[in-house]
C-alpha cells in the first residue's frame, strides 16, 4: 500500500486529530490560520481551537492578487503563476505559525485549505444558460502538502457544485456540527467581505438547517475606503460615523433581485462592486455626496441587507444571532444591526467558545475532519445543500 494512504487510514481511525484550517476571504486582508483539535466526528465531534493567527498580506501581495481578483478579464499567465505562488505563500505562513506555536509538522494530521477565491460565478450571476454554477479558488493544495509535509485537503467548493449546489456558502456543514444546540434557534451571522448566515433549528432537525449569503458585509465599505482614503477599511467605523445616510441612494442600492431571491443563495464582489454603487448613485442622483456620506450609506446598506434577510426567515423570530467575521468590529455597522433587529438577542461566537475571527478557518478544518473521518450529515433532499463530503486530498510525496 502507498505509505501516504496508510497514513491517511491511520489518521482517519485516531480518536483525536489535529487539523489546521485556513481561510483567505474576499477581504484579502490576510490568511486566517486555526489549529483545531477534534475528538471524534459528525454531530458528536468535540472541537477545541488550540491556536489562531491572521497573517496579514503585505500591500504587494494584495496588489498582486487584485490583478486577477473578481475581474472578468485577466492576464491568463498571471492567473497561472498565482496558483502555485499562493499555495507556496500559504505553506510558508503555516510553517511560521507552527514555529511560533511550537509544533512540528509531524504533529499535525491534516491541513484544510480554502485557497483564495478569485472569481465566483453561480448561474444567477454569470447568466449563461449553457454553463453550470462555477467558482475558482487558487493556491494549489499540492504545493502546501509538499512544502509542509502535511496531508492537505483543498478546493472544497467544486464537490458542492458537482452535487447540485452553488459552491457557497458551505458554512452550514460546520456550523451544524459545531454550534447547533437543542432548545435554541440560532443564526450564525458571519460579516466578512460578503455577509452570510446559517440558520440552526433548536429542534436539531438537520433538514431545516441552511446557510445563505445575504449581501455585502465589508466589501463595499472597504472598496470606497481604499478609493477615497487609501485605507484598507473604515477602522472602527470612524468614517461612517462622520457621515449621514442618504435614503434615496440606500433605497436604490437595495433594489436588486438578489435581495428578493429565496434562500439559499450566493453572491460576491463580482456583483457588489464599485460599479454597482456608481450605477445606484447615478440612478438616485447622489453622485455628488461626500465620501463620508457614501461610506455611511454603504454601512447602512450592509446592515439593511443582513437585517432584511434575518427577518425574512420565518423560522427565526426568536433566534439568537451569533456574529463572527471582521464586520463585527465595526461599531457603526453593529449599531445599525441592533436598531434593525430589536427582537433578536445579538451575541458573538466568543459566547460559544470560538474566537469570532477564527470561525471560518475552523469551519474548513471541520470539513476536512468529516471527509477523512466522518460520515454524511443528512440535510434532506433540498436544492443547494447536497449531502456530500468535500475537499481534494494532496499527499506530500
Ligand X SMILES: Nc1ncnc2c1ncn2[C@@H]1O[C@H](COP(=O)(O)OP(=O)(O)OP(=O)(O)O)[C@@H](O)[C@H]1O
Site residues (vs ligand AH0, CB under 6 A): 25-26, 117, 120, 135, 168-171, 192-194, 196, 211, 213, 266, 268, 360
Q: Considering beta carbons, is residue 69 or 233 the nearer one to ligand X?
A: 233
Give the separation between CA 220 and CA 274, rounded to whole angstroms: 7
Residue 264, preceding peptide bond in cis (omega within 30° of 0): yes
Q: Which does 170 bind (CB under 5 to 8 A by kind): ligand X, ligand AH0, none?
A: ligand AH0
Q: Distance of CA 235 to CAs 202, 242, 326, Å?
A: 36, 12, 11
Cell of 266: 450566493
Give the separation between CA 269 and CA 302, rounded to whole angstroms: 13
Q: Which does 213 bind (CB under 5 to 8 A by kind): ligand X, ligand AH0, none?
A: ligand AH0
String of DSSP letters for 270-306: TTSSHHHHHHHHHHTT-TTS-HHHHHHHHHHHHHHHH
Q: Considering beta carbons, is residue 8 or 177 the nearer one to ligand AH0?
A: 177
Is residue 394 within 8 Å of 3, Cβ to Cβ?
Answer: no
Strands (E), 8-105: 16-24, 30-39, 46-56
Give the separation between CA 184 and CA 397, rounded to whole angstroms: 46
Q: What's the min distance (Å) between Cβ of 156 and ligand AH0?
A: 8
Q: What's the min distance (Å) between Cβ of 181 and ligand AH0?
A: 19
Q: How large is the C-alpha radius of gyration of the chain?
A: 20
What x/- string results for residues 310 through 329 when contact with ligand X is judged by CB under 6 A?
---------------xxx-x
Residue 29 known to bind ligand: yes
Q: What's the min distance (Å) between Cβ of 34 and ligand AH0?
A: 12
The sign of the CA dihedral 16, 18, 24, 27 is: positive
Q: Considering the rule CB under 6 A, would residue 360 count as an interface residue with ligand X? A: yes
Q: Considering beta carbons, is residue 171 or 341 the nearer one to ligand AH0?
A: 171
Q: What's the min distance (Å) between Cβ of 169 and ligand AH0?
A: 3
Is residue 170 within 8 Å of 156, Cβ to Cβ?
Answer: yes
Q: Which of 193, 202, 243, 391 binds ligand X (CB under 6 A)?
A: 193
Q: Which does 266 bind (CB under 5 to 8 A by kind): ligand X, ligand AH0, none?
A: ligand AH0
Region binding ligand X by CB under 6 A among candidate stretches 19-27, 145-153, 369-377, 379-387 = 19-27
Give the separation between CA 60 and CA 65, rounded to whole angstroms: 9
Q: Which of 222, 270, 293, 304 binds ligand X (CB under 6 A)?
A: 222
Q: Which does 234 bind (CB under 5 to 8 A by kind): ligand AH0, ligand X, none?
A: ligand X
Cell of 119: 472569481
Q: Considering beta carbons, is residue 109 or 304 the nearer one to ligand X?
A: 304
Which residues 6+ apart lie within 8 Å of 340 measured at CB?
Answer: 303, 304, 306, 307
Residue 30 known to bind ligand: yes
Cell of 165: 449546489
Interface positions with ligand X (CB under 6 A): 23, 25-27, 29, 190, 192-194, 218, 221-222, 233-237, 325-327, 329-330, 360
- Residue numbers in the known binding site are 25-32
- Residue numbers in the known binding site for ATP are 25-32
Amino acid at each position: 500500500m502507498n505509505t501516504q494512504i496508510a497514513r491517511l487510514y491511520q489518521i482517519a481511525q485516531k480518536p483525536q486529530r489535529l487539523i489546521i484550517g485556513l481561510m483567505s476571504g474576499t477581504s484579502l486582508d490576510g490568511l486566517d490560520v486555526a489549529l483545531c483539535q477534534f475528538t471524534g466526528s459528525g454531530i458528536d465531534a468535540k472541537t477545541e481551537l488550540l491556536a489562531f493567527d491572521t497573517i496579514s498580506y503585505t500591500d504587494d501581495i494584495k496588489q498582486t492578487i487584485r490583478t486577477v481578483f473578481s475581474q472578468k478579464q485577466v492576464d491568463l499567465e498571471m492567473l497561472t503563476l498565482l496558483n502555485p505562488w499562493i499555495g507556496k505563500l500559504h505553506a510558508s505562513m503555516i510553517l511560521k505559525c507552527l514555529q511560533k506555536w511550537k509544533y512540528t509538522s509531524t504533529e499535525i494530521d491534516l491541513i484544510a485549505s480554502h485557497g483564495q477565491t478569485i472569481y465566483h460565478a453561480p448561474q444567477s450571476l454569470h447568466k449563461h444558460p449553457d454553463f453550470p454554477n462555477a467558482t475558482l479558488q487558487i493556491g494549489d493544495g499540492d504545493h502546501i502538502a509538499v512544502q509542509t509535509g502535511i496531508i492537505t485537503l483543498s478546493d472544497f467548493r467544486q464537490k458542492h457544485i458537482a452535487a447540485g449546489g452553488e459552491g457557497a456558502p458551505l458554512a452550514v456543514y460546520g456550523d451544524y456540527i459545531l454550534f447547533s444546540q437543542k432548545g435554541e434557534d440560532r443564526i450564525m451571522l458571519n460579516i466578512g467581505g460578503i455577509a452570510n448566515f446559517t440558520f440552526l433549528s433548536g429542534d436539531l432537525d438537520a433538514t431545516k438547517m441552511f446557510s445563505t449569503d445575504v449581501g455585502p458585509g465589508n466589501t463595499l465599505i472597504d472598496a470606497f475606503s481604499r478609493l477615497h482614503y487609501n485605507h484598507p477599511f473604515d477602522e472602527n467605523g470612524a468614517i461612517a460615523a462622520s457621515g449621514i445616510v442618504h435614503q434615496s441612494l440606500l433605497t436604490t442600492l437595495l433594489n436588486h433581485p438578489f435581495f428578493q431571491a429565496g434562500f439559499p443563495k450566493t453572491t460576491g464582489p463580482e456583483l457588489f462592486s464599485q460599479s454597482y454603487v456608481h450605477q445606484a448613485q447615478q440612478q438616485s442622483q447622489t453622485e455628488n455626496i461626500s465620501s463620508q456620506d457614501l461610506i455611511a450609506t454603504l454601512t447602512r446598506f450592509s446592515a439593511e441587507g443582513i437585517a432584511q434577510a434575518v427577518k425574512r426567515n420565518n423560522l427565526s423570530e426568536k433566534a439568537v444571532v451569533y456574529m463572527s467575521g471582521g464586520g463585527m468590529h465595526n461599531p457603526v455597522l453593529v449599531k445599525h444591526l441592533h436598531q434593525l433587529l430589536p427582537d433578536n438577542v445579538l451575541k458573538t461566537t466568543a459566547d460559544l467558545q470560538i474566537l469570532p475571527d477564527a470561525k471560518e478557518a475552523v469551519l474548513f478544518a471541520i470539513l476536512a475532519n468529516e471527509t477523512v473521518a466522518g460520515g454524511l450529515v443528512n440535510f434532506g433532499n433540498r436544492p443547494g445543500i447536497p449531502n456530500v463530503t468535500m475537499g481534494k486530498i494532496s499527499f506530500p510525496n
